[in-house]
Amino acid sequence: MAKGGALQLELRGITKRFDGLVANDAIDLTVADGEIHGLLGENGAGKTTLMNVLYGLIQPDEGEILIDDKPVRFRTPKEAINAGIGMVHQHFMLVPVFTVAENVVLGVEPTRPLGLLDRRRARREVLDLSKRYGLAVDPDAYVEHLPVGIQQRVEIVKALLREASVLILDEPTAVLTPSETEELFRIMRDLKESGRSIIFISHKLKEMQAIADRITVLRRGRVVGSPPPSASDAELASLMVGREVELVVHKEPAKPGDVVLDIEDLIVLSADGMVAVNEVSLQVRAGEIVGIAGVQGNGQTELSKALLGLLPVGGGTIRIGGEDLTHTHTRDLLESGVSYVPEDRQEDGLVERFSVAENLVLDIFHRPPFASGITLHVDQIRESAKARVAEYDIRTPSIDTPARTLSGGNQQKVIIARELGRETRLVVANQPTRGLDVGSIEFVHRRLVEARDAGAAVLFVSTELDEIYALSDRIAVMYEGRIVGIVPPTVPIQELGLLMAGGALSGEGAAGADLAGTNKEPEPA
């Protein structure tokens, strides 16, 4: 086994289960030396789990890893590192307040006598690697001040210092600008020349085609194909998302009324100061459901949070029912008739230690009939809770059971019961059926359609294309903070996948779609 040089890597039959969910299902993967191997798939396809197995962070239930035809076991990342596997995580493992050099040598620091750090040697080693592989980094710069693209380079240098022969890059371009991506590709090609292999994980088609030597496509934990990089966008997209629409929701055609939600040129910054929503414009009418499709991390979360006043708006306007409510406090928005189903039900939607009854009034406890003035009417809360539990078929031993003991599906039902069980004119739902069983999914969909038919405007975000297709009256696709297309649900799935992955529409489906920049409603056909 040649560390720092060429290495043959094979994953055979890797299977990993989490609580009944099969994250990896008998996956075979071979990576030759000097090869850039692309791992393509949507969220939840199993890519990160597979790499965590390879890197020694988790143990597979079945299957084996072979290096140069010899089976190996990695119980800790250290063992994987020693065997020549290097990983650049999606969320960097860098200490922000340290310099580049300090981060790179952490754990293998060069020392002078008495344990004093040999900073000069560390700098030199970093500069050497930097020059050799064209990874320009300043060893004395503090990581927290570096742009994300440079931080990524630091991670790569870190892996190279430990003489990685196989470099795993997990969604590296998710945080890069196009020019930074080009830089990264150049670096990858140089590394390839030196005999190293790279596993490149991404959901972006164009990049796969540009850089990968071979591609393996994962879907729902399984390998579904190994197309060549010369394959067309359409072919790759279809492998990635599958062909059949598996869920059908029975609903009448939409009867859109007046515009309820009018977003214009909205700019929202994420918590770390990056632009997450980049001049988005969108309108949602009463009596229609608009689904926002897109891979996680393209600004959908920030958009939905900004609509509820949970993230400050950096520019643009949000109008609800004609009223400018751009910088309004969350409570006032809720009181004005907005319902919110947050993305993370356990962190944002429920208080797990509260009872079901208490959770059912979490954002309306101060309104009649649940309270008058400062006094809570506990009996009313309980009566209402019992009624809701029955109406929404929430499976719970009692209304006093802490919410955390409920299953995910029933927890979501509590939130739905709370948000949709009152008069509302705008529903904002982010990943409303994440982690739910089929029955609960069907329930949630039914309620959302009911809300629509009662006259509410419904805006929902989902990464599940089945759901997007089944539920939406119109589909808006978000990519890198912008709306790159608004399409009807009749658009073929490959086209949608294309938009989601940053590709361009062609031919059929282009009619009725708007690319980049502001989107106003297409005229009703």
Partner 1 sequence: MERVSVSTAVIAVRRTVSLERRVVLGSLLVVLGLLDALVFGPFSHGDAVFTFTLTGAKVSVPNLTLAAGPVSEGLGAGTVVLGLVYTGLNLSKIPRRLVAGACLFAFVVAFLCWSDAGRISLPFVALLATTMTSSIPLILGALSGCLCERSAVINVAIEGQLLFGAFGAAIVASAFGNLWLGLLFGALCGGLIALLLGLFALRYRVDQIILGIVLNVFAAGLTGYLYDAALVPYQNRLNSPATFNPIKLPLLGDIPILGPVLFDSTIFLYITYVIIALVQIGLFSTRWGLRVRAVGEHPEAADTVGINVIATRWRNVILGGLCAGIGGAYLTIGSVGSFGKGMSSGQGFIALAAMIFGRWTPLGAVGAALLFGFSTALANILGTIGAPIPSDILLMLPYVATIVAVSGLVGRGRMPKADGQPYVKA
Partner 2 sequence: MSETILEGQVAEGEGVPPPSSGEQGDGSGPEGPQGRPVHLALLDAVLQGNSVTVTILAIFTAMVVGGLLISFTDTTVLHAWSHLFSAPGNAFAQAWDAAAGAYSAMFEGAIVNPHTVAAAFHGGSIAAVFNPLSETATRATPLILAGLSFGVASRAGLFNIGAAGQFIGGAMIAGWIGFAVHLPIVLHIVVAVIGGFAGGAFVGWIVGFLKARTGAHEVIVTIMLNYVMEFLILYLLGLTVFRQHGRPDPISPPVASNAVLPHLFGSTLRVNVGFLIALAAAGAVWWLLERTTVGFQLRTVGLNAKAARSAGMSPERTWIIVMLIAGGLAGLAGSAVVQGTDFVLTPQIYGNYGFDAITVALLGRAKPGGTVLAALLFGALYAGGTQMQAQTQIPVDIVTVLQSLIVLFVAAPPLMREIFRLRATRAAGQTEARGWSA
Q: 199 forms bridges with which residues in the sheet?
A: 37, 168
Nearer to partner 1, 72 or 267 (CB): 267
402 binds, among partner 2, partner 1, none (CB under 5 to 8 A by kind): partner 2
Distance of CA 112 to the CA centre of its chain: 45
CB contact at 8 A, 31 and 195: no
The rounded distance, in Å, linking the Cα atoms of 297 and 301 is 7
Residue 378 site contact among partner 2, partner 1, none (CB < 5 to 8 Å, cut-off depends on kind): partner 2
Q: Measured from the CB atom, is 32 or 174 closer to partner 1? A: 174
Residue 161 touches which of partner 1, partner 2, none (Cβ within 5-8 Å per kind): none
Residue 442 binding partner 1, by CB under 8 A: no
Cα 352 from chain centroid (whole Å): 24
Among 19, 116, 271, 374, binds partner 1 (CB under 8 A): 116
Residue 261, token pair as written in the block: 């939600």
**DSSP sequence for 132-193:** HTT----TTSBGGGS-HHHHHHHHHHHHHHTT-SEEEEESGGGG--HHHHHHHHHHHHHHHH
Q: Choose from partner 1, partner 2, none: what does 454 bind? Cβ within 5-8 Å by kind.
A: none
Structure token pair of residue 182: 């080009």
Q: Residues 245, 275, 376, 504: which binds partner 1 (CB under 8 A)?
A: 275
Strands (DSSP E) along 184-258, which ranges? 197-202, 214-219, 222-225
Structure tokens at 242: 């599958």
Asked if 273 interacts with partner 1 (CB under 8 A), we say: yes
Q: What is the distance between the alpha carbons of residues 17 and 466, in angstroms, rounded to a whole number?
A: 23
Figure out which of the listed residues 176, 267, 504, 515 binds partner 1, where binding follows CB under 8 A.
Answer: 267
Q: How far is the CB of 60 from partner 1 (least distance, A)?
A: 17
Q: For partner 2, which is the closer residue by CB, 252 or 347?
A: 347
278 contact, one of partner 2, partner 1, none, CB 5-8 Å limit per kind: partner 1
**Residue 77 contacts which entry, partner 1, partner 2, none (Cβ below 5-8 A, type-dependent):** partner 1
> Least distance (Å) from partner 1 to the CB of residue 158?
8
Using CB under 8 A as the binding rule, whether residue 373 contacts partner 1 is answered as no
Q: How far apart are the first and last CA of the chain?
A: 64
Closest separation in Å from C-beta 171 to partner 2: 24
Structure tokens, 459: 């805006």
Piece in contact with partner 1 (CB under 8 A), picked from 97-105, 180-188, 189-197, 438-446: 97-105
Whole-angstrom Cα Rg for the chain: 25
Return the number of the residue (53 or 428) whose C-beta is nearest partner 2. 428
Interface with partner 1 (CB under 8 A), residue total 33
Q: Which residues of 340-365 are buried (b: 16+ CB within 10 A; e: fewer)?
A: bbbbebeeebbeeebbbbbbbbbbbe
For partner 1, the binding residue among 19, 20, 75, 114 (CB under 8 A) is: 114
Q: Does 177 bind partner 1 (CB under 8 A)?
A: yes
Name the binder of 442 from partner 2, partner 1, none, CB < 5-8 A by kind.
none
Q: Does 489 bind partner 1 (CB under 8 A)?
A: no
What phi, psi does 253 have (nearest 5°)? -65, 150
Q: Mark 209-236 as b/e (b = at least 16 C-beta within 10 Å).
A: bebbbbbbbbbebbbbbebeeebebbbb
Residue 390 partner contact from partner 1, partner 2, none using kind-dependent CB cut-offs of 5 to 8 Å: none
Quick check: 235 binds partner 1 (CB under 8 A)? no
CB of 398 to partner 2, least distance (A): 10
The residues of the shown chain that bind partner 1, judged by CB under 8 A, are 57, 76-78, 81, 93-98, 102-103, 106-109, 111, 114-117, 177-178, 267, 269, 273, 275, 278-279, 314-315, 480
